[in-house]
Structure formats: structure tokens, C-alpha cells
Amino acid sequence: MAASPFQHDRSVLLAHFESFRAEVDDYNDRRERLIKASRDITNLSKKVIFLLHRIALEDDETSYVRAAKRGFSKLREVQDIYAGLTHELAGDRYWRYQRQVSPGLQEYIEALSFAHYLQHGTLIPFHEVQRSLSYPDGTPYFPLTVADYMLGLSDLTGELMRFAISGLSSHKGGRTKATQVCAFVRACKADFENYTAFVPDLRKKQVITSQSLEKIEDAAYTVVVRSSEYDLPPEILDDIVAQSISRFSDRTQKRSRGFEEDFSDDFT
């Protein structure tokens, strides 16, 4: 017996809804996978940042270079994760799921730029970040946005604040390095200000950058005051400055992200 027009229309309608359900399920499943991957990337990147701090504060002339090399090596794990996500972000999917990808990507850029700073003393260029997320032939895994790049660099200033203040109390020559970092962060803040009208959320992060800069300047001011009180060899003066800055450093470290104890065992 032939199907009635009503039954035919009902079958067509059900087929459409089955298609819609499959599409929604696919979207939600992919979204969950990307959120999990972004969390894994965030955790790995934070581990690398802690590793960079730990090695860079070792008291020898090669500590910065060694820290950067170890950091770049560990960040390959993150790059491998992104390489495995290319099929999830093919075509226009990257733009559809950008909100799920951005948090981990910004944390990765923060870690990568910190390693780059330790090695070169400069900001990592945009093209180098994109190249780190590309195939050997130069094809990107996905397009890096200027917004994610800028927001990741903005987060770097907080790590530089911790690096400068910790170095004052634990590293020979920390006085000079703190002065250099202070000037660098000040220049970053001034340059980033030009982009606040074009990059969402950068203005909010500029507030954090201002707070980080203020902490470095307070520590540097303490160094200048203490240094002017003594006419001593630099080595002895470093010890005196370290003692006077240690309480300030402790207060600052307590405000940090609190991931040191959780991640330190993974990088011993």
C-alpha cells in the first residue's frame, strides 16, 4: 500500500531533524574535545613557565640560555597537541571554535614569549609564534590572530615581574636584571596601549600590566635606596639588597598563580 502524503511529509521532516541532531551532537562533541585540549595546553604551558623561573634563577652565567632551551623543548609537547587538532579546526571551524581555543593558546604564547625573552631579551615576533604552530613546509595549523598574540604577550609582563623580583633576592646581578626588566615592561605597557582600541580585553590586561610594573618599580626603588646607603663591593651589596627585598618578594610570590607545588615534581 502506498504511503499517504502525510506519512511521506512526516518521514521527510524526521529525516531533517535527524540531520540537525547529528550536526548539533557533532558540534558539542568537538567543542568538548577542544575545551579539554585547551585545558591540557594551559597546564603544560604553566609547567613550562614554572620550569623557566626555576632554572633562570640558578646562580650561574648560563642559566637564562639553559632555561630557554629546556622551555622550547618542553613546549614541543604543546605544539604536538596543536598539530593533532588540525582536523578539528579545518576550514572555518577555527573561527567557530575560537573561544574554546584562545585560553590555551594565550597561555602557550605567554610561555613561549618568556623563553624567547630569556634567550634574546626581546619580545617574540608574531611570525615566530605562527611558525611554531606550523608544519615543516610553513603551512599553519590554524591562523594565529593578532588578538591572541597581543593578549599572550600582555600576560608575559606578569611573569617578568615575578622573574625580576625573585632575581633580586636569589640571583647575583639581580639588581641589574631588575632594572632591565623594569624598562622592558614599561616599554611594553606603552606600546600595548596603542592597540587597546582594536584588541578586545587588552585594556583590562593593561591594568594588570600597570600593577606588575608598579611592583617592579617599587622593588627597583628599594634597590636604589639600599645601594646608596653602602659603599661596598657589588657582591656584598647584592647580599644586602637580597635581604632587604626578601620580604617584598615573599608578599609578591604569594599572589602568584599558585601552581608551583602542583607542577614542580613533573620537571625535576
- What would the pLDDT profile of 162-209 be if each residue is shown by its tens digit? 999 888 766 566 778 888 999 999 999 999 999 999 998 999 999 999
Q: Which three cell numbers stand for residue 214?
A: 608598579
SS3 call for 89:
coil
Residue 15 has pLDDT above 50, yes or no: yes
- What would the pLDDT profile of 117-141 be if each residue is shown by its tens digit? 999 999 999 999 999 999 999 999 9
Distance of alpha carbon 16 from its chain centroid, rounded?
44
d(CA 263, CA 64): 20
Residue 265: pLDDT band (50, 70, 90) is very low
Q: Which residues pair with 140 in a beta bridge?
A: 134
- What would the pLDDT profile of 215-227 be if each residue is shown by its tens digit? 899 888 877 776 6
Residue 37 has pLDDT above 70, yes or no: yes
- Residue at 113: amino acid letter: S
Architecture of domain 16-144: Up-down Bundle (1.20)
Average pLDDT over residues 20-40: 90
SS3 call for 183:
helix
d(CA 170, CA 245): 10
